[in-house]
């Protein structure tokens, strides 16, 4: 290992546990990819059980008592014969199952070496995490839980594990990938198994999937990799965890079928995300292209560009046994045969949900914040006209970014700020890397707007808004990469401004209200509001913005810059939510479907942007729009119509208005809902 | 006044297991030997034990922890006597004693912490007096006097409890009287027409079998402790015998029980083999652990002695296969009198206890067998495990039965491994308790505990509990990996009984007994979390009381409490077991 291949994130200087990141591409640039792909792959296997072939695995699933029971039950319910159901099971399993083969891993390793070298300057991996993982795979079944920001994530983990002689995982993937010609099969043989979207109430499908996943975990022959966020995040922000898979992987521990399960959170951070522009357009309602092989080939133009570095931070392996200690009484599984379906108890559900949220939080903490993300925070706080017309002064951006770097460090963020380079160079190279979003001209920075389409008639003002929105949403996404660092203090800062109070309990109740409203935007571990609040106080105190006691939080004079930055950081969310609340409270809206809601809100937001009433373009993001609906459903201000096929909702205007009024402090907050489970 | 059972006291250890003349020791050459003449292993050299012992525990023969040699009377708290009670007992003529040795001897069972304290010469609360009733009527008198004078009675049978059941509650302020049943040891009659025997409850297992054998009968009830444990103790703890597959457990064996309680004598009016007369009152008595009264007489089923006995053993490539085989045997309901499956660690342990072989030929044969199993059959010596078998009955049927069982075993990769291995396996049952005393001479402490569990969870519980023990030892600062091993000792239609052994080297620990207790506690939690029961046959005592409510539900606790409140409102039987 040469010294140049070692990368220390100097951003965390002062912390003792400075992780050592190693660039795995360095070796690839120096030696033959073919030789690498065909080297001896000799991972230390899991001690608990022998390896298990695809055929063995599928046979075990098919012959499981659970599936025979479910098949009988479903046959009874649907009136079809057990044989028919069994056949269906076989079909599902065939569609689902992975077919991990070393040969294909080698092929993938070869191809990915080529692709990665073209795309990235480096892929940096923390060796300590890998070493711990290597130990962990021998001890218990391992669940790899990366965040999901790009298609590049998909095989990156397998690639790294292959490189370091660790058993390659089987990976839960969305079914659309399986439909791609060739690629689907290649992924399958590289260990992917495919899960349908929107399984809903398809009981048989759930049964097959869960038995399949549980069997893999019980056998422990390969790590299971899955995205607890369920989907690729379009906004580069963490998504609320999905609990279905989480339940499945944990159940073998709950039922004592394995001694322990190891969870390994993995944080993947990109300097620049390949799909950045695609994602922004998707958020604006241009639908995502269907995954297809030709689409993939067309995307090869993205291969021409540079995407900076990718950081893969393997978190400390966590023992489910230890995490769940005292949180779940496993005796509850004693009275029903373990092979039969059992509705999870409230306790088990709460435990799984807590664990899933915790994992996402740990992923967030493991992310490396790029200079660009800090810059994006700053850029978004400049008026839009400055970005598009006057241009932001270069030295101003530099200063502010450096100021924010200090704040982020105070808040304990991990930065990937290059160490041995002057700060000005860092800023320049960062802007250069993101030339698709901003460009530097004559000492100023401008937003890059999309090329005007060749057409005669001038574009309408509405189209102008949409065109402007794309780069702004890209910026917002990059800002989101560091939101988790700032969100708690930002909520406190907002509470301080909105309530104009210094009373701790008053601030706390508004803080909780904000958490309630925005818990689809940001990840908060259920039931941990007091700790979150405490953390916010401590961080604001640390950076000299406030002082606090048992009763009070006092703003310090020196704190105004921090506080106003933090308030401004959260403002786009508040403003966007208010726009949508306003739409829902309009005359005429009583029952609406998601399909109607999105364009209607988009129109209203466009109108308000044009009139200058709304400053943020984020209200145009379909992600935020959907989050508002979910939040209101959670707060019981809208209810889903049970009979409705097309996701129709009934709006309780008074309730929506009340939430909006609290948010703008027209009325004081009251607890909108009871906390999900106080025990958590 | 001195106790009337001095013989017993003299031939038994006061601070360890079993007979004074029988013990393991490492001789001057560093070889292990077993002293005395009572067992098959007695007087033999066990060449493999030293290496196994040092290798398994990281123990060293140089590092000794000998026990305090003699009981010093000054260490024993003075007796708190209820003078009026003593006077009245004296007038009945029932022998009694408040001699320190007699009291200490009856103040403990064989839990690790109890023996450890004795070896260190530490004596806690002990009974203040011992009485030796010699018949049912004596017991009636004693119980009446105890009620009259409000003294606490603690029935004492064989003293083999491993649930802290014999520990005197430290908070007890009344005079505690140990009611030793050992003098009530007669067979009162044998009914050859109905094949029952009416026996006094103080009789110990080996005497009962010997006396019945003289008439050509047996009970077939053989718990591992049968040399010392008593009939009354079996009833009071719901004991289980090794050969329960043929003869049944204690609840299957008893036909009639007589128990003296503070409210009077409880018994049924007839000896009908089964009754539908409400909840069976025997089930209030069985497992009552001395909290309700003293069992004085029991009518028990007897059987003609078996014409033929044959041991056997089967080697399996791994524990999973072995369990699958036992499950199949249980399914086909063809379990021999006894079938036990030892895991790999225990197999190695058993191997280490092989006595020195006299002839080169035997050792050559052993080598050949080992070669055949490990090399030719490809069994991994670190995975293989062994089942020991005992068949009983008439010769022809035994042979037939044997074939059936071996055929099933073959389906699970099992290889017949000879009678000798089987027989040695059962012999170990009786000497293993002596081995703990040897361990304790060299910084090694350990114990066994058991559970019962449905078939589908057997493998999981074995793996998880063993793993938990190892993990907990590490976390608690135990310097060397512990011995953590198990065996499946009984099969039932719906599950099995699993026995765990656990021992570790405690050098470097300041409070080894506390560490031991923490690990055992964790292991029990693990058992319960994996669907195992609180106890299959050891009972609850005071050691496992904390889990009773979860085990039998609030209502269940209430039921048992209300029985206790009716039968013994003043808590005369105040050993505080169970509830």
Q: What is the DSSP string of B524-556?
A: HHHHHHTT--S-SSS--TTTSGGGHHHHHHHHH
Whole-number Å distance between alpha carbons of B203 and B298 = 10
With an 8 Å Cβ cutoff, is B468 touching chain A? yes
Whole-number Å distance between alpha carbons of B510 and A25 = 52
Beta-ladder partners of B315: B386, B415
What's the Cα-to-Cα distance from A522 to each of A99, A283, A626, rounded to whole Å?
Answer: 36, 18, 14
Of all residues in chain A, the percent with pLDDT exceeding 70 is 91
With an 8 Å Cβ cutoff, is B38 touching chain A? no
Residue A489 burial (CB count, 10 A) = 29
Q: Are A93 and A212 in contact (CB under 8 A)?
A: yes
With an 8 Å Cβ cutoff, is B467 touching chain A? yes
Span of A180-189, A230-239, B363-372, B477-486 with lowest mean pLDDT? B363-372
Say if residue A454's pLDDT is above 60: no
Give contacts of A259 with chain B, Cβ < 8 Å: 463-464, 467-468
Mutate which of B453, B522, B529, B534 to disrupt the A interface (most A C-beta within 10 Å)?
B529
Give contacts of B494 with chain A, Cβ < 8 Å: none
Whole-number Å distance between alpha carbons of B242 and A522 = 62
Whole-number Å distance between alpha carbons of A143 and A242 = 15
Name the nearest CA neighbour of B221 among B181, B248, B254. Answer: B248
For B171, counting Cβ atoms within 10 Å of its Cβ (0-12 exposed, 13-18 middle, 19+ buried), the class is exposed
Whole-number Å distance between alpha carbons of A244 and A147 = 16
Mutate which of A259, A262, A326, A342 to disrupt the B interface (most B C-beta within 10 Å)?
A259
Name the nearest CA neighbour of B60 among B576, B411, B505. Answer: B505
Span of A358-367, A662-671, B49-58, B440-449 with lowest mean pLDDT? A662-671
Give contacts of B461 with chain A, Cβ < 8 Å: 256
Which carries the bigger pLDDT value, residue A595 or residue B444? B444
* B450 to chain A, closest Cα gap in Å: 18
Q: Are B516 and B113 in contact (CB under 8 A)?
A: yes
Mutate which of A327, A334, A338, A347 to disrupt the B interface (most B C-beta within 10 Å)?
A334
Q: Are A431 and A378 in contact (CB under 8 A)?
A: no
Give contacts of A337 with chain B, Cβ < 8 Å: 456
3-class SS of residue A488: helix
Q: pLDDT category, A215, cuts 50, 70, 90?
A: very high
Provide the pLDDT for residue A287.
63
B294 assigned to a ligand binding site: yes
B550 contacts A333? CB cut-off 8 A: no
Q: Are B348 and B319 in contact (CB under 8 A)?
A: no
Q: What residues of A are in the B interface, CB distance below 8 Å?
A: 48, 256-257, 259-260, 329-331, 333-334, 337-339
Q: Are B57 and B444 in contact (CB under 8 A)?
A: yes
Segments in chain B below pLDDT 70: 1-9, 358-365, 368
Q: Which of A48, A257, A331 sits opposite B529 (nearest CB)?
A: A331
Which carries the bigger pLDDT value, residue A244 or residue A289? A244
B467 contacts A338? CB cut-off 8 A: no
With an 8 Å Cβ cutoff, is B531 touching chain A? yes
Which stretches of B460-505 are assigned E, i.e. beta strand? 483-491, 495-505
Say if residue A512's pLDDT is above 80: yes
Q: Which of residues 263-282 of B touch A (CB under 8 A)?
A: none
Which carries the bigger pLDDT value, residue B464 or residue A201? B464
Which carries the bigger pLDDT value, residue A29 or residue B1? A29
B202 assigned to a ligand binding site: no
Please compute the mean of the pLDDT values over residues A611-635 and round it to a whole number: 93
**Nearest Cα residue in chain B from A260:** B464
With an 8 Å Cβ cutoff, is B530 touching chain A? yes
B468 contacts A259? CB cut-off 8 A: yes
Provide the pLDDT for residue A299.
62
Span of A52-66, A274-288, B79-93 with lowest mean pLDDT? A274-288
Give contacts of A260 with chain B, Cβ < 8 Å: 467
Which carries the bigger pLDDT value, residue A588 or residue B383? B383
With an 8 Å Cβ cutoff, is B528 touching chain A? yes
Whole-number Å distance between alpha carbons of B379 and A16 = 50
Quote the mean pLDDT of chain A.
89
Mutate which of A251, A252, A256 to disrupt the B interface (most B C-beta within 10 Å)?
A256
Q: pLDDT category, A6, cuts 50, 70, 90?
A: very low
A338 contacts B461? CB cut-off 8 A: no
* B381 to chain A, closest Cα gap in Å: 16
Active site residues per annotation of B: 499
A259 contacts B463? CB cut-off 8 A: yes
3-class SS of residue B454: strand
Q: Between A and B, how many residue pairs show a Cβ–Cβ distance under 8 A? A: 27
**Nearest Cα residue in chain B from A255:** B530
**Nearest Cα residue in chain B from A336:** B531
Whole-number Å distance between alpha carbons of A57 and A218 = 11
* A142 to chain B, closest Cα gap in Å: 17
Q: pLDDT category, A675, cuts 50, 70, 90?
A: very low
**Nearest Cα residue in chain A from B528:** A331
Provide the pLDDT for residue A679.
37
Provide the pLDDT for residue A459.
72
Give contacts of B382 with chain A, Cβ < 8 Å: none
């Amino acid at each position: 290992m040469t010294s140049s291949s070692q990368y220390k994130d100097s951003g965390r200087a002062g912390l003792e546990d400075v992780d050592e990141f190693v660039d795995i591409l360095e070796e690839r640039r120096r030696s033959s990819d073919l030789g690498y792909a065909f080297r001896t792959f000799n991972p230390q296997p899991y001690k608990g059980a022998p390896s298990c072939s695809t055929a063995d695995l599928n046979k075990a699933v098919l012959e499981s008592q659970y599936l025979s029971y479910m098949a009988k039950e479903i046959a009874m319910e649907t009136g079809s014969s057990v044989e028919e159901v069994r056949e269906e099971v076989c079909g599902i399993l065939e569609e689902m199952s992975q077919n991990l083969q070393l040969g294909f891993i080698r092929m993938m390793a070869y191809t990915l070496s080529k692709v990665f070298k073209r795309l990235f300057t480096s892929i940096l991996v923390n060796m300590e995490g890998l070493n711990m993982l290597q130990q962990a795979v021998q001890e218990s079944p391992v669940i790899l839980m990366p965040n999901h920001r790009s298609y590049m994530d998909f095989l990156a983990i397998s690639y790294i594990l292959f490189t370091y002689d660790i058993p390659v995982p089987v990976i839960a993937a969305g079914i659309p990938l399986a439909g791609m010609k060739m690629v689907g099969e290649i992924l399958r043989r590289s260990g992917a198994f495919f899960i349908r979207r929107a399984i809903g109430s398809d009981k048989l499908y759930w049964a097959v999937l869960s038995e399949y996943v549980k069997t893999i975990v019980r056998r422990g022959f390969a790590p299971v990799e899955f995205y607890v966020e369920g989907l690729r995040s379009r906004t580069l922000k963490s998504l609320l965890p999905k609990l279905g898979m989480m339940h499945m992987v944990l159940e073998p521990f709950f039922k004592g079928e394995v001694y322990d399960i190891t969870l390994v959170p993995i944080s993947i951070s990109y300097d620049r995300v390949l799909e950045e522009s695609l994602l922004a357009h998707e958020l604006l309602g241009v639908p995502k292209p269907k995954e297809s092989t030709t689409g993939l080939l067309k995307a090869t133009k993205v291969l021409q560009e540079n995407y900076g570095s990718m950081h893969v931070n393997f978190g400390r392996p966590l023992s489910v046994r230890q995490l769940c200690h005292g949180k779940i009484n496993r005796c509850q599984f004693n009275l029903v045969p373990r092979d039969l379906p059992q509705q999870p108890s409230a306790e088990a559900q709460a435990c799984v949900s807590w664990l899933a949220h915790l994992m996402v939080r740990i992923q967030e903490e493991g992310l490396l914040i790029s200079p660009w993300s800090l810059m994006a925070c700053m850029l978004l706080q400049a008026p839009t006209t400055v970005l598009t017309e006057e241009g932001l002064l270069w030295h101003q951006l530099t200063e502010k970014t450096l100021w924010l770097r200090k704040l982020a460090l105070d808040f304990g963020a991990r930065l990937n700020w290059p160490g041995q380079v002057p700060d000005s160079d860092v800023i320049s190279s960062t802007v250069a890397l993101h030339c698709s979003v901003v460009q530097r001209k004559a000492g100023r920075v401008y937003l890059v707007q999309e090329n005007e389409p060749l057409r005669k008639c001038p574009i309408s003002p509405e189209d102008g808004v949409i065109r402007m929105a794309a780069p702004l949403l890209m910026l917002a996404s990059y800002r989101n990469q560091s939101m988790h660092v700032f969100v708690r203090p930002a909520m406190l800062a907002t509470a301080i401004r909105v309530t104009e109070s210094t009373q701790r309990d008053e601030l706390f109740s508004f803080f909780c209200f904000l958490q309630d409203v925005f818990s689809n935007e940001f990840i908060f571990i259920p039931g941990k509001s007091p700790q979150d609040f405490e953390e916010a106080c401590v961080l604001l105190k640390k950076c000299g913005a406030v002082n606090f006691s048992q009763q009070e939080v006092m703003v310090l004079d020196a704190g105004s810059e921090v506080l106003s930055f933090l308030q401004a950081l959260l403002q786009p969310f508040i403003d966007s939510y208010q726009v949508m609340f306003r739409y829902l409270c309009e005359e005429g809206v009583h029952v609406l479907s998601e399909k109607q809601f999105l364009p209607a809100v988009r129109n209203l937001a466009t109108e308000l942007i044009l009139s200058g009433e709304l400053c943020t373009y984020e209200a145009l993001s379909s992600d935020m729009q959907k989050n508002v609906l979910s939040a209101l459903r959670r707060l019981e201000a809208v209810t889903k119509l049970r009979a409705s096929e097309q996701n129709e909702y009934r709006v309780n205007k008074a309730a929506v208005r009340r939430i909006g009024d609290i948010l703008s402090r027209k009325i004081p907050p009251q607890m909108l809902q009871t906390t999900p489970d106080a025990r958590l | 006044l001195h106790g009337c059972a001095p013989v017993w006291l003299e031939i038994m250890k006061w601070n360890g297991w079993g007979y004074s003349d029988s013990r393991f020791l490492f001789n001057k050459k560093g070889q292990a030997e077993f002293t005395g003449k009572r067992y098959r292993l007695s007087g033999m050299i066990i060449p493999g034990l030293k290496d196994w012992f040092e290798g398994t525990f990281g123990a060293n023969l140089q590092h000794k922890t000998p026990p305090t040699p003699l009981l010093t009377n000054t260490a024993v708290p003075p007796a708190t006597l209820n003078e009026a009670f003593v006077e009245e007992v004296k007038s009945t003529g029932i022998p009694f004693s408040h001699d320190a040795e007699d009291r200490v001897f009856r103040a403990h069972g064989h839990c690790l912490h109890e023996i450890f304290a004795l070896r260190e010469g530490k004596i806690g609360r002990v009974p203040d007096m011992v009485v030796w009733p010699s018949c049912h009527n004596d017991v009636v008198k004693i119980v009446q006097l105890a009620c009259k004078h409000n003294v606490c009675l603690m029935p004492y049978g064989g003293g083999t409890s491993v649930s802290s059941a014999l520990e005197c509650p430290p908070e007890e302020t009344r005079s505690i009287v140990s009611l030793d049943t050992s003098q009530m040891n007669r067979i009162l009659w044998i009914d050859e027409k109905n094949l029952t025997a009416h026996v006094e409850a103080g009789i110990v297992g080996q005497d009962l079998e010997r006396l019945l054998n003289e008439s050509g009968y047996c009970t077939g009830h053989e718990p591992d402790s049968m040399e010392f444990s008593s009939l009354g103790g079996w009833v009071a703890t719901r004991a289980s015998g090794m050969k329960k597959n043929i003869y049944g457990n204690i609840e299957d064996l008893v036909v009639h029980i007589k128990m003296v309680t503070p409210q009077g004598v409880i018994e049924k009016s007839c000896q009908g083999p089964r009754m539908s007369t409400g909840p069976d009152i025997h089930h209030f008595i069985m497992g009552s652990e001395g909290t309700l009264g003293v069992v004085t007489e029991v009518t028990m089923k007897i059987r003609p002695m078996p014409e033929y006995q044959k041991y056997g053993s089967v080697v399996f490539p791994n524990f999973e296969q072995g369990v699958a085989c036992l499950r199949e045997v249980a399914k086909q309901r063809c379990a021999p009198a006894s079938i036990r499956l030892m895991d790999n660690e225990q197999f190695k342990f058993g191997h280490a206890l092989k006595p020195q072989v006299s002839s080169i030929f035997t050792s050559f044969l052993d080598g050949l067998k080992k070669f055949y199993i490990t090399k030719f059959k490809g069994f991994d010596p670190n995975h293989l495990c062994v089942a020991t078998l005992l068949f009983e009955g008439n010769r022809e049927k035994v042979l037939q039965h044997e074939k059936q069982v071996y055929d099933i075993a073959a389906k699970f990769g099992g290889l017949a491994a000879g009678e000798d291995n089987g027989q040695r396996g059962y012999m170990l049952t009786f000497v293993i308790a002596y081995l703990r005393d040897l361990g304790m001479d060299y910084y090694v402490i350990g114990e066994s505990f058991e559970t019962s569990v449905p078939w589908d969870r057997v493998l999981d519980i074995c793996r998880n509990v063993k793993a938990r023990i190892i993990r907990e030892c590490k976390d608690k600062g135990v310097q060397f990996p512990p011995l953590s091993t198990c065996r499946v000792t009984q099969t039932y239609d719906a599950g099995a009984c699993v026995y765990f052994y656990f021992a570790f080297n405690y050098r470097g620990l300041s409070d080894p007994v506390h560490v031991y207790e923490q690990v055992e506690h964790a292991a029990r939690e693990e058992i319960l979390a994996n669907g195992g029961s609180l106890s299959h046959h050891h009972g609850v005592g005071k050691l496992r009381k904390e889990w009773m409510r979860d085990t039998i539900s609030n209502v269940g606790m209430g039921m048992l409490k209300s029985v206790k409140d009716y039968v013994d409102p003043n808590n005369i039987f105040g050993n505080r077991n169970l509830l």
